[in-house]
Amino acid sequence: MLKATAGGGGRGIRRIDSEKDLQEQYQIARKEAMAAFNDDSVYLEKLVVNPSMWRCRSSPTRAARPFISEPGTAPSSAATRSWWNRPAFHLSPELAEEICHTAVKAAKAANYTNAGTVEFLLDGYNNYYFMEINTRLQVEHTVTE
């Protein structure tokens, strides 16, 4: 993906599948970024095709064990949020443990000690990629509601 450095809302994003695509899309993405954000800088980011998203939640209690879940596709309503985030039953225990271990390492590297959610993308080959750290539990998390 070619993305605007100052971007957001899908502006300045271009899928790049080849060197030809990069040559064709580079100036277009820079112009769109400048028009939208007054900054024409762009960067390349790995494209994960058809990913699933996984969240590893942690709490400030050092004894608490991180919990990994996959966001569901339920409509956002109070009646359905109790199963919005379902446990990672179809991940192997080893992969779930590895993802949570990576989440804990990321939090420790940032000296982060509060409750939070570390998000990853998982491709079809069980490769996982860090996406972001939310410095809170997700709003659809049943405990926070």
* CB-CB contact of 136 with 117 (8 Å): yes
Q: Which of 15, 55, 81, 136 is catalytic?
A: 136
SS3 content of the chain, % helix, strand, coil (to 5): 25, 25, 50
Q: Are strands 128-134 and 52-58 parallel, antiparallel or unpaired?
A: unpaired
Residue identified by tokens 């596709």 is: 73
81 tagged catalytic: no
**Torsion region of 9: left, alpha or beta (phi above 0 gives left; psi -120 to 50 gives alpha):** left
Residue 27, helix vs strand vs coil: helix
- Kindly list the catalytic residues: 136
